[in-house]
Structure 1
Amino acid sequence: MAVLKVIEVLSNSEKSWEDATRKAVKHASKSVKNIRSVYVQDQSANIKNNEVTEFRVNLKITFEVE
């Protein structure tokens, strides 16, 4: 039987929400092993001079506990 745990992670990117998600998973995988999935809970963006300057995501990362 597998035991799974969920953590909440915030990330940002100047490129896209997808890039912010990839960065979060890559960074989390340095200390969290057996990542199974990621759920994008929320997305937002910062605006400056009518231009998007930063994409932000709030993620839930699910991983298997050894």
Structure 2
Amino acid sequence: MAVIKVIELVGTSHEGWEDAVKQVVKEASSSLHEITGVDVVHQTALVENGNITEYRATVHVAFIVEHHSHLIGIGTATK
């Protein structure tokens, strides 16, 4: 049985929204193991002088929560 956790992250790119999503996955993969999927929630952009200067993607990242049953009882007082 697995437990999946979902967090919200925002990626940025000067190239486009797809690259902004890829940046989220790349960065999240460095600290989260077993990412199972992403859901792109919003796509926005920063505009300066009539030009898009930064693409932003708000992304929900789903990953498997690791099971730590070997830690049960550690740090608890016993009678």
TM-score, normalization by structure 2? 0.80
Cα deviation 1:1-58 (Å, max 9, x = unaligned)? 1110001101110000000000110000100000000000111001111111110011
Cα RMSD for the two superposed structures: 0.6
Runs of 4+ in 1 over 4 A off after TM superposition: none
Structure 2 residue runs of 5 or longer lacking an equivalent are 67-79
Question: Which amino acid is 1:2 matched to?
Answer: A
2: CA distance, partners of 1:44 / 1:63: 24
Query: Which structure would you say has the larger Rg?
Result: 2
TM-score, normalization by structure 1? 0.95
Could you tell me the percent identity over the aligned residues?
44
Question: How many positions carry a matched residue from both structures?
Answer: 66
Q: Corresponding residue for 1:29?
A: 29
